[in-house]
Amino acid sequence: MATTINYNSSNPRVLIIGAGLAGAEAANFLANRRVPVVLYDLKQCRHTTTGQQSGLGELICSNSLKSKELGSAHGMLKYEMKGLDSLILQAAEEFSVPAGGALAVDRHKFSQLITETLCNHPLIELIDGQEVCDPPACALKHQCSHVIIASGPVTSSKLESWIGQQAVVKSDNLYFYDSIAPVVNAESLNLDQLYYKDRHLDGSAEREADYLNIPLNKQEYLELVNDLLAAQKVPLNKFEKPKYFEGCMPIDLLAERGVDTLRFSCMKPVGLELPSGARPYAVIQLRRENLLGSAYNLVGFQNRLTHGEQLKVFRKVKGLQTATFLKLGSVHRNTYINARESLDYTMQSNQIRGLYFAGQISGVEGYTESAAMGLYVAHQLWQRLSKPETLPSQWPCETAIGALVNYIMTWERPTPSNINFGLMPPLDVTPVKGKKRWEVKKLKKELISVRAQQAFDKFIISSVDQGVTI
Ligand SMILES: Cc1cc2nc3c(=O)[nH]c(=O)nc-3n(C[C@H](O)[C@H](O)[C@H](O)COP(=O)(O)OP(=O)(O)OC[C@H]3O[C@@H](n4cnc5c(N)ncnc54)[C@H](O)[C@@H]3O)c2cc1C
């Protein structure tokens, strides 16, 4: 039988568990609409201003929030997030670092702005360094009428077991593995052996390239593949089956799929010709980590190797012989729930009314997607609070956010997903004579993007018409 978290609904106050990307967005959205928020995180977050601790809205691995281009699926998501006053995007744009068409950030400054904004908000009470193990008990303590769980892919084990035991989630055995790429100190790179070039920028462009590249010949490439295969890996727990997310596969696992897999994926040389015009056999790309350019991320080099083996293998690569690593690669367990079985379209638990899930734990994958789901849930809750007599309106699935929600609520085999065009309703484009296939594909994406923007704008205007201020 369903229970409810509803201690004082005439006086709404929201408990948010987790001050990552989704939690930060939800807290900011609600507090800006005068809903008081109690925001918990088990990490010590406040001290980030001294530069000693990770702050709120931490980017755990890559520093990229993916494409900014409106014609891309990530660009569409950003358009909608902006329309909902996204704090994450505001901070990202303020502290972006050059990364071609992608929105990459100086992660420390990014997190610092989010931390300061939320800590200084008069309607947000931040309680950091404390784990929430029993959400209803915590809500009662703070007299909160609603709860949002935004505890992310690395939800603490006590909270995870509460979620399972309280039957909020029927299939409590859902998880997959995700991995972190190494970060190297720029000063320790041998720049004589590297070159600057962006994949989609020809030499005639006025702006300088943002990526550093290591060109490999066939022998160097094969040696690296062999080293990755032979290196010792960190073993998984015996009781856990390895289920990896396809978009963030460990590089050593990709190498196991075939000798050429890497040079057709993260080490693809296409568009990365050397200044001489020659195309290398394979390329390792390094993306700036911060504005100063003092650190670089080895793009796609997330891996399961032990730390000692990573140092051995990567320092054999040219340009990296004297590299000092600020962070080494690793693999982590990720928690997510089966939204289709456990939640309604507003991401509210079927079992405990008033309890919502946001961010990666709801079944999406990626920084931008998790933040967007924080905004989505906050918007749904805000609609419920401001117009209790009407049901929150269903988000159109032509929009990027609507497509994500539609995906997690209808999936057959639960696997978290990034935003992509495959999630959008199809669009019929009559073949145009004389146009190549890639040209039609590009046109289709542009039309889907325009359709999404129009659907989003109309949806927001109609929410305002119904008395829900945005
Ligand atoms: C190892 C790893 C690497 C990743 N790399 C990338 C990447 O490169 N690019 C990308 O787009 N996505 C990446 N992701 C995917 C994911 O989208 C991000 O992790 C994203 O940060 C998720 O956002 P979130 O707000 O849902 O959770 P998080 O940002 O993880 O925030 C959750 C917060 O909840 C807190 N918390 C957990 N349990 C409790 C509790 N019981 N009480 C109080 N607080 C609690 C945590 O301390 C944390 O601060 C990665 C995920 C993992 C695990």
Domain range list for the chain: 3-174+336-465, 179-333
Q: Quick one: which of 69, 79, 22, 85 has its CA closest to 455?
A: 79
367 in contact with ligand 1, CB cutoff 6 A: yes
154 in contact with ligand 1, CB cutoff 6 A: yes
Question: Tell me: the pLDDT tens digits for 228-252?
Answer: 999 999 887 665 666 777 777 899 9
- How remote is the CA of residue 428 from the centroid of ligand 1, in Å? 37
Predicted local distance difference test score (pLDDT) of residue 428? 73
Architecture of domain 3-174+336-465: 3-Layer(bba) Sandwich (3.50)
Amino acid type, 32: N
Question: Tell me: the pLDDT tens digits for 201-235?
Answer: 655 554 567 899 999 999 999 999 999 999 999 88
54 in contact with ligand 1, CB cutoff 6 A: no
Give the 3-state secondary structure of residue 151. coil
Predicted local distance difference test score (pLDDT) of residue 469? 52
SS3 sequence, 381-394?
Answer: HHHHHHCCCCCCCC
Alpha-carbon gap, residue 37 to 315, rounded angstroms: 48
pTM: 0.79
Predicted local distance difference test score (pLDDT) of residue 1? 65
Predicted local distance difference test score (pLDDT) of residue 50? 47
Alpha-carbon gap, residue 418 to 414, rounded angstroms: 13
- For residues 139-150, one letter each, b for 16 or more C-beta atoms within 10 angstroms of the residue's C-beta and e for the rest, the string is beebebbbbbbb
Tokens of 242: 């390895």
CATH class of 179-333: mainly beta
150 in contact with ligand 1, CB cutoff 6 A: yes
Ligand 1: which atom is nearest the Cα of residue 62?
A: 8
Question: Tell me: the pLDDT tens digits for 143-189?
Answer: 999 999 999 998 998 998 888 877 566 555 566 677 788 989 888 99
Cβ burial, residue 415 (10 Å; 0-12/13-18/19+): middle
Q: List the beta strands (DSSP E) in 136-174.
A: 146-149
Tokens of 44: 């010590």
Least-confidence region, from 59-68, 306-315, 389-398:
389-398
CA 407 to chain centre: 16
Predicted local distance difference test score (pLDDT) of residue 316? 97
Residue nearest to atom 30 of ligand 1 (CA): 152
Question: Tell me: the pLDDT tens digits for 296-338?
Answer: 999 999 999 999 999 999 999 999 999 999 889 988 778 888 8
Alpha-carbon gap, residue 329 to 227, rounded angstroms: 15
61 in contact with ligand 1, CB cutoff 6 A: yes
17 in contact with ligand 1, CB cutoff 6 A: yes
- How remote is the CA of residue 334 from the centroid of ligand 1, in Å? 9
Residue pointed to by tokens 């939320």: 118
Residue 393 has pLDDT above 70, yes or no: yes
Question: Tell me: the pLDDT tens digits for 27-61?
Answer: 999 999 999 999 999 998 765 444 445 689 889 88
Amino acid type, 185: N
Band of pLDDT at residue 382, cut at 50, 70 and 90: very high
Pocket test for ligand 1, best of 53, 151, 333 (most atoms within 8 A of CB): 151
Tokens of 311: 């140092």
Band of pLDDT at residue 404, cut at 50, 70 and 90: very high
- How remote is the CA of residue 152 from the centroid of ligand 1, in Å? 4
- How remote is the CA of residue 60 from the centroid of ligand 1, in Å? 7
329 in contact with ligand 1, CB cutoff 6 A: no
Ligand 1: which atom is nearest the Cα of residue 56?
A: 49
